Amino acid sequence: MRLSALARPSLYLLSACAVAGLHAPVSSQPTAMAQSASQDVRPVQFSPSIPAERGVLVVPLASMDELPSRTAGLTASEQSAIARALETSEFTFAKRQQLSLRGIGEWHQILIVGLGDDAAQSDYQMVGAVTGRALLDEAESVTVMASGLTGEAAAAFATGMGLGDYRSDLYRAREEQVGQRGGVTIVSDAGPVARSIYENRGSAIIAAMNWTRDISNEPGNAVYPESFVERARTALSGLRGVRVEVLDENDMGELGMGAILGVGRGSERPPRMMIVRYNGVGPSAERPVVLVGKGITFDTGGISIKPRQNMENMRMDMSGAASVVGTVLALARSQAPVNVVAVAALAENMPDGRAIRPGDVLQAMNGTTIQVISTDAEGRLVLADAFSWIERNLDPAAVVDVATLTGSVRGALSDDYAGLFSRHDALAGQLVAAGETAGEPLWRLPIHESYAEDMRSTIADLRNSSSGSGGGAGTAAYFLGEFLSRDIPWAHLDIANMAWSGANAWKPDGSTGFAVRLLDQFVREFQPVETVE
């Protein structure tokens, strides 16, 4: 880091001169648009016995051997009919496999879902999500036969059903459903344990995931830096231990945040830096875990404009910010005993006449100067100022940033893992373990010292895009690492390949809410990293 660069304020003035007075009011707010549909999650109850109402029956199974105990309480004829259907079908009990049966007893439908071999907690949740999505348009009440499952597994299944209930067609006209959908009854001999886990944590995860996916799926004329802040405030309102601070363009100008202000210069909608603190352990708390999110609410690429194809999906470029705020929402709703701060770096990247140009030089809050090679490498710019603010104002136990940062990570990892970059082995290990538990896997990639040469500029301290022909995800991570002292434990999660997808068995088209469950698990189990490797 080059703190001596603080003596060069003139470059900040070049990059963000009089930003506060340049933004005209936005004349076309989405006030005429219909409000997005609220997520309708079925109410859940836990019971030791099958309710009298016969709607949809769900039977999760890992093998035929489980059928007698899992369906205890059904009539002998119902059990026999299910067994015959399984024996004569091609059902293999693989994870997420489904078999729908009708005409058995008084049940409207019987849905058999496969658990596979050696199911982990994340598998139970995902099978639940597949079940919830399969029954999304089913108005009948749902009974889930969970006898023999642990309380943890039953709660995970119920949580997954809530995740599978999610809809992304937020502005689509739909006929009003006649009456409300029926609730879910989890039939379990571990009901008290399952209920406690679901009510204290599972329901919080559902609410946080729904908020994260909603705000990521919203169009760019509905969600922009200012409205992101207001929606987050509303979601966090009234939660004990939560404090929200917001830096506007005037505040950021006074602090010298030339990088994020530079990104936002081409938009009528000014940037924001949102800081959400949740302290669930009292005044003697350990230093906070800090989560940082890239929040580009719409990314045209700026002057280095993106191709037309699929640009409408670039409303998802704020997924990192959505996920870190969503994580704090989950932790605060469940009153987790943790100390955590989320920082959302919010801007809109547009090609206005005031927009930054390739070749321009910006100065970040910590004084480091940055030559802009591509205005489409803007996420690392907003995060540079977020990192600088964190180092100056917080004493973090660890910093983890989440960003849809590079297309390169997809080339390296497809859609199987998010990219993990860190110089701190102990921190990386905790994140990998949390990802495995939560079902959101990470794969560690290198931050090679050779990237320093790739990011060297002839005119400034750094360039914002590599001069080399490869290593795009790694050089981006290297750039970010230059804005935190090396003795602060830090990890970067590049989720550009995981944050968004088409519809599949567990979710509709759009946001996946990736990293909320992972970070919730990570923060809860975080152990201070004493030694910097």
pLDDT of residue 470: 72
pLDDT of residue 13: 36
Residue 380 is a catalytic residue: yes
Binned at pLDDT 50, 70 and 90, residue 26 comes out as: very low
Answer yes or no: is pLDDT of 17 > 70.
Answer: no
The CA distance from 141 to 402, in Å, is 38
* CA 144 to each of CA 98, 111, 193, 197: distance values in angstroms, whole numbers, following the listed order: 14, 9, 16, 17
Q: What is the mean pLDDT of residues 396-422?
A: 96
> pLDDT tens, 484-517?
999 999 999 999 999 999 999 999 999 999 999 9
Answer yes or no: is pLDDT of 103 > 80.
Answer: yes
> Between 121-134 and 151-164, two packed helices, what is the crossing angle to 10 degrees?
40
The CA distance from 528 to 521, in Å, is 15
Contact of 258 with 12, CB cutoff 8 Å: yes
> Smallest Cα–Cα separation from 415: which of 330, 323, 492, 514?
514
Point out the catalytic residue in the list 8, 54, 95, 306.
Answer: 306
Point out the catalytic residue in the list 380, 463, 507, 517.
Answer: 380
pLDDT of residue 530: 76
* End-to-end CA, the chain: 18
Q: So what CATH class is 3-21+218-408+457-525? A: alpha beta
> pLDDT tens, 177-191?
546 899 999 999 999
pLDDT of residue 18: 35
Give one DSSP letter per residue of 441-498, joined into a string.
-EEE----TTHHHHT--SSSSEESS-SSSS-HHHHHHHHHHTTS-TTS-EEEEE-TTT
> pLDDT tens, 197-238?
999 999 999 999 999 999 999 999 999 999 999 999 999 999
pLDDT of residue 499: 98
Close Cβ partners of 404 (under 8 Å, ≥ 6 residues apart): 294, 316, 317, 319, 320, 379, 494, 495, 496, 499, 500
The CA distance from 82 to 95, in Å, is 19
Domain boundaries, the chain: 3-21+218-408+457-525, 44-173+181-187+200-206
Residue 294 is a catalytic residue: no
The CA distance from 100 to 81, in Å, is 13
pLDDT of residue 176: 60
Domain 44-173+181-187+200-206 in CATH 3.40.220.10 = yes
Amino acid letter at 267? S
The CA distance from 101 to 63, in Å, is 17
Pairing of strands 442-444, 361-363: unpaired
